[in-house]
Amino acid sequence: MDAINGIGPENAKLLLRELKSVKKIKEADLPILAAIIGIGKANLVYNHFRAQKDKKD
């Protein structure tokens, strides 16, 4: 998650503490992410992983 501009180590730790793995973070819905780190940062994470997925498809 270091590649996501605006998501620092504290937010990454919060997400990993709650969701337990990067895989689960990638698969999480926006409301789940927002409940952990707030809607603004959740949008950054959500959009980052959706963009990666779209490139693979």
Helix (H, G, I), strand (E, B) or coil at 56: helix
Of residues 53 and 31, the one with the higher pLDDT is 31
Tell me the angle at which helices 30-37 and 9-19 cross, rounded to the nearest 10 degrees: 120
Query: pTM of the full predicted structure?
Result: 0.88
pLDDT of 23 higher than 90: yes
Of residues 55 and 2, the one with the higher pLDDT is 2
pLDDT of 55 higher than 90: no
Helix (H, G, I), strand (E, B) or coil at 1: coil
Mean pLDDT for 1-19 is: 94
